[in-house]
Every structure is written in C-alpha cells, then in structure tokens.
Homo-oligomer: A and B are copies of this chain.
C-alpha cells in the first residue's frame, strides 16, 4: 500500500496505472503533474487522480512512488527534476517508456550510475486510443511488463515495482535495456514503420480513395497500427534510432531477396520462405496470443 503516488505525465498509461491502483486499493492518494492542464482537469473529473501539482518538484513531495509516464523524449529532462528523490532514496521511481536505453544513458550521465531507486520499465499494453479519458484500470491485465534494472538498482526497488505491476495483473519480466531495444525494434517499432509506409504509399497514389474501398481483411489487420499516435511514434523512432535502422536494413535485405525470387521466377524458393514464415507464425499463435 502506497501513501502517495505521483504520476508525471497523465495520458493513457499514466491514467490507467492511477485508475488501476485506486480500483485495487493500492494507494491512498494520487497526485499528477502534466504540462497540459486539461489532462489534469479530466483526471480529477474522472476521479483517476486525487490532486494535481504545478510542477514535477511540487508533485513528488512526500511520494513513496513516482511513475514517469511522459513521452519517451521527455524522460531525460524529467529525470533531472528528480534529483531530490534520488538523493533521498526512500521513494521508488519507475517509468513506462517504450525505449529503454535512453533513460539508462541519461541516468548514468546525470547521476554517474542508475540510482538505486530507479527501476526502468515498459508495459506492453498499447491502444490506438490515447489520453487520460481512455484510462482503463484493467489495461495491464495479462499483459507483459518488462523491467530493465541495471546492477546499481536495488533488489528492493525492483521488488516494489514488480509487486505493483503484478497487483495490476501484469506478467513481469527482466532483461537488459539494450536487449529490450533490439527486441522491440524488431517486433514492434519495425512493424509500425512498415504499416505507416504502406498506408502512406497508397494514400499518395492518385486513386487512393478508390483503393482503400477495395482493401480487404489482410490490409485491415496489417494497417491498423498506422492509426497509432504519430507524435508518440516519431519519438520512439528518434529514441531507438540505431536499432530501428539495423532492423530496417535487415528487412530491406529480406525484401530484396524476395524481389529477386519473384523477378527470377524462383517460385519454389518463395514457397519455402512462406512455409517457414507460416510455421513461425503458427508457433507464435500457439504461445497464446
């Protein structure tokens, strides 16, 4: 049970954490700070939070948990605002950024090493919805949360954050930040890029309105993620630039190979590739998607 939790950045994820903790009686009081006063007002109206603050520094006073749910590119400056918390050490801090190396890097630059009470995290629960008005106390149920603590982070802080996510219904796993960023470049960031690219390509063609009319199930599934928040995704690509470029280059190689197969009429090679992919996809489905 936390006495006071501070949510820095009150969007879908920050709001859902607050709502989930309140629903389950995990917190006495939730304070939020957001650069957008309307988000704070909505949070109060929806009773997702109990009070608001005018600054990060004011919000975190006497908190025993601080959740950084700001856009991924705002995490570095927010970390700097938390000097007092990291000096004191009694309050636990976690974040929800989709890219994990930058927070580690910034923490090491500002504090020499990742503070013992900072546990970087990433809940794998997205939605095409956004904003605190879409907050859902059960958003994380049966979803994965990945924590990427370094050796300098205390076992106690990691335990506190793990317990919190488990109480919200999530399955918690640990890995290094760099491994996280490779895995998510491949399985999340690259697919989003490919979907945006396809929809953009079609929308630029003269008969695009007509084309979308005939687009069937495959296209619908494929392109759904192109409805995601453009600014959030721009920031993710900036934050994970190197790994995204690596994955994209691998993919361009793969597409180049496939182009050759089709151009050369090597259809059995193409069928083998399709079979291999289907086998992998069926295996993935078997994991209980």
Interface residues of A, count at CB 8 A? 89
Chain B: which residue is nearest A144 at the CB level?
Answer: B214
- Asked if A213 and B287 sit within 8 Å, CB to CB, the answer is yes
Judge whether A152 is part of the interface by a CB distance below 8 angstroms.
Answer: no
- Asked if B237 and A248 sit within 8 Å, CB to CB, the answer is no
Instruction: Determine the distance from Cα of A244 to Cα of B45 in the docked complex, in whole angstroms.
Output: 52
- Asked if B211 and A186 sit within 8 Å, CB to CB, the answer is yes
- Asked if A274 and B234 sit within 8 Å, CB to CB, the answer is yes
What chain B residues lie within 8 Å of A220 (beta carbons)?
A: 284, 289
- Asked if B193 and A258 sit within 8 Å, CB to CB, the answer is yes
Judge whether A265 is part of the interface by a CB distance below 8 angstroms.
Answer: yes
Contact status of A278 and B194, CB under 8 A, knowing A234-B267, A248-B259, A252-B252: no
- Asked if B203 and A277 sit within 8 Å, CB to CB, the answer is yes
- Contacts of A190-215 to chain B: CB distance below 8 A: 190-205, 207-215
What chain B residues lie within 8 Å of A193 (beta carbons)?
A: 255, 258
- Asked if B200 and A254 sit within 8 Å, CB to CB, the answer is yes
Q: Given known contacts A231-B271, A248-B255, what 14 new A-B pairs fall within 8 Å (CB)?
A: A124-B216, A126-B218, A187-B215, A197-B251, A197-B255, A199-B284, A223-B281, A227-B282, A230-B278, A237-B267, A245-B263, A248-B258, A251-B255, A252-B252
Instruction: Determine the distance from Cα of A184 to Cα of B215 in the docked complex, in whole angstroms.
Output: 8
Contact status of A203 and B280, CB under 8 A, knowing A198-B190, A230-B271: yes
Which of A190, A231, A278, A285: most chain B Cβ within 10 A?
A: A278
Judge whether A241 is part of the interface by a CB distance below 8 angstroms.
Answer: yes
Chain B: which residue is nearest A196 at the CB level?
Answer: B277
The answer, among B144, B221, B250, B284, for a CB contact under 8 Å with A201, is B250
- Asked if B251 and A201 sit within 8 Å, CB to CB, the answer is yes
Q: Give the B-binding residues of A (Cβ under 8 A).
A: 124, 126, 144, 146, 183-184, 186-188, 190-205, 207-231, 233-234, 237-238, 241, 244-245, 248-252, 254-256, 258-259, 262-263, 265, 267-268, 270-271, 273-285, 287, 289
A170 to chain B, nearest CB (A): 12
The answer, among B207, B213, B224, B270, for a CB contact under 8 Å with A234, is B270
The answer, among B224, B270, B284, for a CB contact under 8 Å with A221, is B224
Instruction: Determine the distance from Cα of A231 to Cα of B287 in the docked complex, in whole angstroms.
Output: 25
The answer, among B195, B212, B267, for a CB contact under 8 Å with A283, is B212
The answer, among B214, B234, B251, for a CB contact under 8 Å with A184, is B214
